[in-house]
Every structure is written in structure tokens, then in C-alpha cells.
Structure 1
Amino acid sequence: MRSLKGQRVLITGASGGLGQALAWVLAEQGAHVALAARRLERLQELQEALQRSGYKAVAISLDVTDADAVTYGLHRTVEALGGLDILVNNAGLAYFGSVSTMAPQQMARLVATNIYGALYTSQAAVPYLETSRGMIVNISSPLAKRAFPYVSFYAGTKSFLNAVSDGMRLELKARGIHVLTYMAPETATDLAQHTLHAPGVTLPPIRRRLADPRHVALQISRAIRHERREVMASRFFVALGLMMPGLVDWLLYHAMVRRYRHENF
């Protein structure tokens, strides 16, 4: 089992939501955390709050879609923490709308953030993680296994991330680097506020209960300590889809497509 005490961790997308919750949970368990995101002011507020509580934290302004910025950000992280043991690829962007009308610019933004962002940071981190025999944690979604209507392009980026994680896990095994894919449940974060959507489309109100970010962060920390290979937090629709795919199609059609296609599309 991996102890988190003294582990040097870089978390992307750390300025809010799950990334912020992860920073607190990992710091409480003894990790030294580098907080990376584009919103530097929010990162600095989190850094100061962690430091007031006696934890080691550093804020790193980082746009994961910029390969050169990522390389520089990793260098700054290693310089500040003295090395790197764990990379958490948490930065992500969502989209609500039909793939059939999705603008190329929106496709490019999702791919740049959800796919290239994770690849750039992973590539830049590998030399440091090889030295420490460290770990890459890719935050994915159960939608990678079963896409829902109107979030299918987002689900596709997460499916890509899952596939890359599976390959990287084997490619990096000989270099002593472990890869964990964590498919987090729908969590009460500010992701919806930054969700891209089709012109004229409003996001539907969320009536279902969402997972608490701290609870999800605790489960991720547990998966890290146990060096799990893959964790999927919510399996109901995936399992049902394997047994009765036609029924799941019918449920999703009546729950989402019939409801929103005349209102928004």
C-alpha cells in the first residue's frame, strides 16, 4: 500500500470542485500539493488556506491545453516540491448539446482540455515519475462506458482517456509508473457553470442527488493508496446496458431525448 505522507502531488483543475476537495484530502493525509489551474487568484486563496492549516502547498498557473506551458509548469512544480510522486489529471470541460449540431470550435476545446491536456501533463511528468516510481491518476467518468444523449461528445473524450490509460499502464509498467483510471460519479462541483452548450440551449435543472466532492476525494485517495488499476464509482447503467442495452436506450430516450429535443434542439 502506498502511503501519502510526504508524497509530492500535482493536481490539475485544482481551483474548485473536485480538484479543490482532493487538495484538502491529500494534504490532510500528509501529501505536499501543487495546485494547478488557469484561475491563479483562486489557487492562491486555496494555497493560503492550506498553508494556514499547516500543510505544504504551492500554486502553479497552468493552462493544460498549452504544451509549452505544461512543460514549464511541471518544472516549477518539481522545483517547488523537490520532485513529483503523483500526477492527478483532473482538469476537464463538459458540453451539453447534440453532436449533430456541435460547432467545430467547441469540439476542439473539449479535445484540447480533456484529451490533449491529460496527454501533455502525463508526457511532461513521466521523467520525474520514473525517478520516484510514481503514479498518474486520470479522472474520468462512468459516461466513458455508457454515453448519455446530449453529453455524448464529452463521454467520447472520457472513453479516449480510458483507452489511453489502459495502454499507458502497460507501457509505463517497466519504468515503475502506475496508472489509475478513476471514473468519478456525477459530483456537486461548479463544472456545470463552465459547461459549453449549443446556442440557445439551456442546461436542464439537476433534480437528482449529486455526490459530495469531499466524499469522492476520499474514495480517490483510497484508490491511490491501494494502487488500484481502475475504479468506476457508478455501475448501474453500465451493468444494465450490458444485460439489456435496448432497455437502457429506451430509458434514456424517454428520459432525455423526448424531453429536451423540442425544448432546445
Structure 2
Amino acid sequence: MTFLTFNRRHDPRGRRVLITGASGTIGRALGDRLNRAGARVVGLDLRPTGDEPFPVMACDVTDDDSVTSAVTEALEFLGGLDVLVNNAGIGGPAPAEYAPGDEVRRQLEINLLGTWRVTAACVGELVAARGRVVMVASRMAVMQLPLAAAYGASKRAMVAYADALRLELGTHVTVTCVYPSAVRSPIHDSTKAAGLSLEGMSVYEPLDGVVDAIEHSALAVRPRRDVTTTRKGAVEFFLARHLPALTDRIVARTLAARAAGGAFDGASLAAGVVERHGGRA
């Protein structure tokens, strides 16, 4: 694991890049930067806005036919593929104590299986180009936060998929996982609306730093296996991997303080957490 340890980069000019979730906060910023640097960038998104500074094609990553059609069109437009950035993802309220419902299935379908579908559709071109895959994972792939079990599970599974892909394609394709903490974006809106905001448990990081890490992973001559996006994130990654019990205690203590302080009052999905911590149900 590394925190932005920069080394030599490939010249971005002419490199063929496909980005999923390209109309969102991170995808758009990354695509814009690579496009301005001279890369040939195409994006995929469920709902392109139409004003992105690079071509974005409509694609539902939960639908096999949509992925096949959009990826085929994108690869024909690019004439091959050097870099795939799997950035598409969603979050939402999903406490672990409740049976999985539509919200859980939606996050797993997009964050894990959507990544799998798009990557599988690109494997032939990536192998031919000896290209690379960059997975935009999350700190929660290694350090779970409460009340968001589906997101953490989907991102941890995404990393497991990346590990398998690396072993299978490693003779020809490199695979890097990038672990942002939290960036202000609409991905947090549904959790906040449910009264489960984790504002007190997460510190938002600058968007530019996240884009720096993904860009570096896409262009580095010798890409790293795992890349964090801040020094704090690097520490959290280390602790979660090597001292998980300590990490659990830190997160549990923070959750208890927030529950006792009324942060989740009125949130039905957090009623059990509040009651168990002696707060107001």
C-alpha cells in the first residue's frame, strides 16, 4: 500500500481511457483532467448530463445488454483500451441488523456486479494492449463503518474481485485498487436523508487528492497494487489491515458517542443502535 508515492508516468497523450460513473463528481473531474492532458477519454454513465467535457455514453451497469452495447461502442470509438477506471458506485443506508432489501441489492448490483460486468466486457482489449484496471474502492473496503453495511460489503467484495482479476490477468494487465475516504458528493444524500449521516465519523477529503491518486494509478509506469489518497487514509488502511481489533474499538467508541449525543434521534433505521447505547429511541 502506498500514499501517492509518485514515480515515472506514461505520457497521457493518446492513451485510451474508459471511465464508469463518468458524469458523477469523481468521474467527471478525472475524465476532464485526463482529457485536457491529451488522453482519449470516453465515459459511461446511467444518466449522462450532456455537458461533460468528453464523450459519455448511456450505460446501465446492472444490465448485461446495456453493458455489452455501450462497451462495444466505446471500444470501437477508442480503437482499443489502455486503461479502465471502474468508478461507478452508489451508497445508501443499510444497517447490518436488518434483512437485506432493495437498497442492499442495489448497492451490490452496481458496486460489485456492475464493475464485474464492465471489466469482463473489456478484458480482450485490455489484454491486447497490456493495459490496466483501476478500481475506485473505498476506505470502507478495509475499515467498515456502522449503518452502511451494504456499501462496505460491496466495496470489500470489489477488492476481492480485483485480487482475482490480478491473479488471472497479471501476465498482461495490472490491477490497482484506490481507497478514498469520503468526498462531498451526492452519493451521501440518501444516507443523510435517512438520518444516518456519518459526518462525525468521516472527515471529507479534497476531490483533487482523490483524482491525483486515480490519475497516478492510471498512468504510472510501475503502478502500485493498493493506493490510499491521504496520509490519514494510509494510517487507517494500515491499522485496519494489521490491527483490526483496535480499529473496531475506535469506530465503536465514536458510534457510541454519536448515538448518546442524539445524532441518530428520529432515524428509524438506527433505533436499535440508539437503544443499545442507552440513548433516546
Does TM, normalized by the shorter one, top 0.5?
Answer: yes
The reply to whether residue 218 of structure 1 matches residue 212 of structure 2 is yes
Bigger mean CA offset, 253-262 vs 27-36: 253-262
Unmatched 5+ stretches in structure 2: 1-8, 272-281
Q: 1:162 to 1:246 in 2, by over 3 A?
A: closer
**TM-score, scaled relative to structure 1:** 0.85
Q: 1:148 to 1:5 in 2, by over 3 A?
A: same
The reply to whether residue 201 of structure 1 matches residue 194 of structure 2 is yes
The reply to whether residue 184 of structure 1 matches residue 177 of structure 2 is no
Q: In structure 2, what residue type is equivalent to 1:220?
A: I
Q: 1:102 to 1:187 in 2, by over 3 A?
A: farther
Aligned residues of 2:143 and 2:247 also touching (Cα < 8 A): no
Residue 58 of structure 1 and its aligned partner are, at CA, apart by 1.6
Q: 1:247 to 1:137 in 2, by over 3 A?
A: closer
Aligned residue pairs total 250
Residue 95 of structure 1 and its aligned partner are, at CA, apart by 2.2
Match of 2:65 among 58, 64, 68: 68
Match of 2:117 among 120, 125, 132: 120
Aligned residues of 1:25 and 1:214 also touching (Cα < 8 A): no
**TM-score, scaled relative to structure 2:** 0.81
Residue 79 of structure 1 and its aligned partner are, at CA, apart by 1.9
| 3-state secondary structure, aligned to 1:99 | coil
Corresponding residue for 1:132?
Answer: 129
Deviation track 1:61-104 (CA, whole Å, cap 9, x = no partner) reads 01111111111111110122222211111000112241112542
Corresponding residue for 1:259?
Answer: 258
Q: 1:140 to 1:245 in 2, by over 3 A?
A: closer
Structure 1 segment 32-43 matched on structure 2, within 5 A: 32-40=40-48, 42=49
Aligned residues of 1:106 and 1:196 also touching (Cα < 8 A): no
The reply to whether residue 28 of structure 1 matches residue 36 of structure 2 is yes
Corresponding residue for 2:150?
Answer: 153
Q: In structure 2, what residue type is equivalent to 1:37?
A: D
Residue 235 of structure 1 and its aligned partner are, at CA, apart by 2.8
| 3-state secondary structure, aligned to 2:51 | helix
Aligned residues of 2:83 and 2:218 also touching (Cα < 8 A): no
Aligned residues of 2:108 and 2:150 also touching (Cα < 8 A): no
Q: 1:241 to 1:90 in 2, by over 3 A?
A: closer
Distance 2:198 2:182 in 1: 14
Q: 1:132 to 1:196 in 2, by over 3 A?
A: same
Distance 1:244 1:168 in 2: 27
Aligned residues of 1:149 and 1:257 also touching (Cα < 8 A): no
Match of 2:85 among 83, 88, 93: 88
Distance 2:126 2:241 in 1: 36
Distance 1:243 1:170 in 2: 23
Distance 1:219 1:242 in 2: 20
Deviation track 1:160-185 (CA, whole Å, cap 9, x = no partner) reads 111111121120023x1111111122
Residue 246 of structure 1 and its aligned partner are, at CA, apart by 4.4
Corresponding residue for 2:277?
Answer: none
Q: In structure 2, what residue type is equivalent to 1:252?
A: V
Q: 1:186 to 1:16 in 2, by over 3 A?
A: same
What's the % identity of the aligned pairs?
Answer: 28
